Each structure stands twice: as structure tokens, then as C-alpha cells.
Structure 1
Amino acid sequence: MTEQTTETPAGTVPAESVAPAGDTAVPPAPKPPRRVLRAVARWTAAALVLGGLGAGTAFGITSMERTDVPGLATGSDGRWDYPGLSLPALPAGSPRPYSDGNVAEIHHADLRRLLLPAPAGATVDKKLDGGWVSTERYLSEYEKSERPDLGRLLDDSAPRHIAARGWTMPDGTSTRIYLVRFNSTAFAQGFMDAITVSGSEVPLVGAPESVLDEGWSGGGKVSGTSSYVFDEAKPFGEAQVRQGYVVAGDTLALVVQSRKGKEGTRSVPFHQTVILQNQLLG
């Protein structure tokens, strides 16, 4: 799968200390499964095609301050009505992940406070209510046969926390967002590479094969982050599944949307959701 980049981003947990650069050697990223290597050439070609698409903006939000991310009220194009968003407060003396004083790009904020809230009209998933979840719950998004290998890779990557939120809209569209925080940016990117380069070899439940989302422009992203956006290959099964990943420093975000029926999921609210989650991680 392909990285798409641009020129541009309840509860409380104790503040986490991070050793200054140079005090502790950053562990190497986990080595991806051997099957990953077979797909590198296939996706490198796609990267060259889409690499230039990231200069655009989406929904007019990139020019606004990230400390006050807009909710993007529902419009005629099908956007959802998200509440007004703002970045959470940080522990005293802690920098934001992309500030000059945070070379390691560490998120010091409570990971749960960085989850995108549900839009207006949504029914919140009681099992994914914005709190902590286990690695098993995160892995349940992937096909059962792939979970053992992916689980070992995740264990080797030593994730620190996983937070999740889910909801269902009146039209039946189901959304699930996971934020996985690792010990370093190397681990986050290494785990991401193992998933996206291998393509449909690590499929989500209900989506045996995925393809690049050709409607994704890569706009609205925070500088320094990476996005990977895919759609289920046709023909769809019982439900159409869309998936988007964002790598932001030490944190990986997975956004999954699915909807049963012939109409499937709509691209506009899916892209909107990926963009807003990306900006909250900036």
C-alpha cells in the first residue's frame, strides 16, 4: 500500500516522561514479515503515481489554526456535523509533537483526549467509548487467520497504549477509530510499513482485498505525518469497508468505516473523518 504525503498536520493519565535525544538509543523498528517484501515493488509503482497528489487541501481546514480544528458542519456534499474541536492541554513543560522542542515527535497528551469525537446523530459504541482497549480488540479488526502473525509483530513493536472510539450513523455507517501509541516513531512507522506494504495480505474483516482510494487527495494533513487510505476492492461483499491509517510521530491511527447494502460507504464523510483525526494528532 502507498504513503501519501503533503506539504502541510475521559479520564486522565499521568504525564509520561521521555528521555532526551541522545540519552537512550532508539530501538530498531521491527522487521516486517517476509511476505511484505514480495509486495514492495507492486506498491512502489503506485507511490510514484500518487505522490504528487498531496498538495491539495480538503474541506478548507488546512489554513486554520490546529488549536481550534473546525467541526465541519454537514453540507450538501454529505459531510457529517462534528463538534468544534480543540487540542487537549499538555502536562506542564511538555511540548506538542511537532514543535521545535520535541525532536522525537512524542505525544505527551492523554491519548484518549486525542480521539475524534462522534458526530451529531451518532449512536456511540458502548464497547468503544473512547477509553483504553486491549491489543486483542485492535487485532479483531483484521482477518482471523492473520491475527497471530500480526499480533507477534505488534508485541515486538511494544505499544504503550491503545485507545478507541466507535459509533454508528442513522444511515447504518459504522465507524471505528483506534490510536496506538508506540515507544518511538521507528516502531510506529515499522508497524505501519508491515501493514500497508503487504496490502491485502493483512486484510480487515469483511474486506479480503483493498485498493488505493483514488479519490483521496491527501489534503488537510499536518506536516510530517503520513496517510494511507484504501477502499475495498470490487465486488463488495455484504458491506463495503474503507480504511485509513495515519502515522503521526509515535502514534498510529486506524480509521475503519463500513456500511451494509448496495450503496456502501460514502467517500466524503470518510475522508472528512481521516482528516480531522489527523489534525488532532498534530
Structure 2
Amino acid sequence: MTEQIAQTEQLETPEQPPAQTALLPAGERPRNRRVLRAIGRWTAAALVCGGLGAATASGITSMDRSDVPGLATESDGRWDYPRLSLPTLPEGSPRPFTVGNPHEIHHADLRKLLLSAPVGATDDKNLTGGWVSSAQYVSEYEESHRADLQQALDDYAVRHIAARGWTMPDGTTSRIYLLRFNSGDMATKFMDVEIGAGLSPDLTLKTTPGEVGIDEEWESATPADGQSALALYTEAKPFGPEQTRQAYIAAGDTLALIVQSRKGGTRAVPFHQTVVLQNQLLS
């Protein structure tokens, strides 16, 4: 589906945006959430979706176009993404999933880990691949969730948020948010407790007023390395004027939200392609 990642591009020195929050006080229990239930729901999602790390991505990228079931023709619906490349790291900085990096920190500029828009896309003028505020991220959710989610971002000390968006000629809109926390444990806890993963997320997006469930068109193998975990959801029929698909990627200290919407219904192939490629950049 994609070409292999080349780890050759030079990493630019990132700007240092102001830290947005303070650390969650030691011993403080997360607000208004059932922790064990949330963790159980994430486990259910991992079993249904298949927790995905580099295994699925490398399996797909290592196959020729004609070898991927259902993806053998030029009209299979995949988008033409630029070649992927991982930014080089500052000297002495380890990759996130190595023995010398117990907190699974991504030392690369978060903006460099955002997936680029595919060929033919029209860029979202508000989501250009740079830093965005927590208020921008929170605006993706139904209004009733926003105040609590904003407080959670403060409590869990989200450090930086980067985002990119675009619209394709067929009307599909895509938005990707990357949230960086102080450690992998903090990012996972935020996902488990505040977002909620399982057969459906606890928080509803503003573009999904209908019922949301596991994306049953997604197929993946459970990886041996456990580097990242994915939960993919789709808005069930009957939906309104447009349908939305969403995915969460928990990869070390970074949590990704991917949203795709399209009038008349979203397409599985480009959505899954986008998720796989973004996961590669974070793994």
C-alpha cells in the first residue's frame, strides 16, 4: 500500500511552544470516570480491532500492489500519498520504543510526525500541520463534552498538539491531531479514562450524531511488539447527510485522532490507508 519508510530526512529544530498545563497531581483520581471499565473497554477494542503496531504496517508495505486483497487495481480508492520518511533525531536521542527510552518519548518534532496530505488535496487553512490549541482539538467533540475534556487536557498535562487537515476532490474531509503527553503511561491513561475505548468511544464527535461502533471492515493482525494500539470506529447506518469514521492511535507518549467525513458515506480504503500510514510514522 505504501513504500517503506526511509529514515533519512533531517529533523529541523522544533520551536518550543509554551507548555499548556501542569502535571496531574500525584495520587489524584481522574474525574468522573470509571477507570476499570475504561481499561476493560480498551482491551475489548484491542481484541476486536487487533492492537496494531509496526507489524500490520510492514506487512502491507512489503506486499506488491497486486498482492493486497481487494487493492489490486488502479481504481481501488487509495490516495496518492507522498513517500514517508522519519525525521532524524537529535544526537543521542533514542527512538520511542527502545530499551533506552522507558517512557516511550518521541524526541522528534511532533509536526514532523504528522502525515502529509495526499496529492490533489486542498489544505485546511486552519489545520496546516503546525501547532494548535487544546480548544481547537476539543472543538472536534460534541459541545456537551468540551468543558470536561478541556479540564482533562489540563489535568493530564498535554504538552503540545499538532494538526493537519485537507479535503479531497470527492468531498472527503480529513483531520489528524497528534497530542503529546509527558510519558506513554500518561497518554494511555488519558485515552483509557477520558476518551474511553471499546466497542464505542465514550466521547461523541460533533460530526457523528448517530450510533458509532467498531469498524468491522478493518482487518489486522495482533502484533508481537505491542508498540502501538488502535481503535477504529465508524458511524452506523442510518446516518445523516454525511458519515464519519474515526480512529485513535496510542503510540508511546503520543495519542492520535484521525477523523474522515464524507457526504453520502465515507470509504473504507482511504481511511484505513490513512490510519496505517500515520501509525507508521508514530511506531
TM value normalised by structure 2: 0.78
Residue of structure 1 in register with 2:145 after alignment: 146
Residue of structure 2 in register with 1:255 after alignment: 258
Residue of structure 1 in register with 2:85 after alignment: 86
Residue 52 of structure 2 contacts residue 226 of structure 2 at CA under 8 Å; is this kept in 1? no
Assess, with a 3 A threshold, how the Cα gap between structure 1 residues 248 and 80 changes in structure 2: closer, same or farther. Answer: same
Q: Residue 211 in 1 paired to residue 221 in 2?
A: no
Total equivalences in the alignment: 255
Residue 122 of structure 1 contacts residue 167 of structure 1 at CA under 8 Å; is this kept in 2? yes
Describe the SS at the equivalent of 1:166: strand
Q: Residue 242 in 1 paired to residue 241 in 2?
A: no
The amino acid across from 2:234 in the alignment is: D
Describe the SS at the equivalent of 1:147: helix
Describe the SS at the equivalent of 1:34: coil
Deviations 1:41-98 (A, max 9, x none): 777666655559999846953549xxxxxxx999331110001111011111111111
Aligned-residue offset at 1:237: 1.1
In structure 2, C-alpha distance between the alignment counterparts of 1:269 and 1:29, rounded to whole Å: 41
Residue 30 of structure 1 contacts residue 157 of structure 1 at CA under 8 Å; is this kept in 2? no
Residue of structure 1 in register with 2:282 after alignment: 281
1:233 counterpart (231, 236, 250): 236
Residue of structure 1 in register with 2:196 after alignment: 196
The amino acid across from 1:141 in the alignment is: E
Residue of structure 1 in register with 2:4 after alignment: none
The amino acid across from 1:205 in the alignment is: K
Describe the SS at the equivalent of 1:145: helix
Deviations 1:231-280 (A, max 9, x none): 0122111210000010110000000000112xx11000000000000000
Deviations 1:179-234 (A, max 9, x none): 00001112101111131338354100121331000111235977410001000122
Residue 213 of structure 2 contacts residue 235 of structure 2 at CA under 8 Å; is this kept in 1? yes
In structure 2, C-alpha distance between the alignment counterparts of 1:187 and 1:52, rounded to whole Å: 18
Residue of structure 2 in register with 1:112 after alignment: 111
Structure 2, unaligned runs of 5 or more = 1-10, 18-24, 64-70
Identity of aligned residues (%): 63
Residue of structure 2 in register with 1:268 after alignment: 269
In structure 1, C-alpha distance between the alignment counterparts of 2:27 and 2:74, rounded to whole Å: 45
Q: Residue 164 in 1 paired to residue 163 in 2?
A: yes
Aligned-residue offset at 1:40: 6.9
Residue of structure 2 in register with 1:132 after alignment: 131
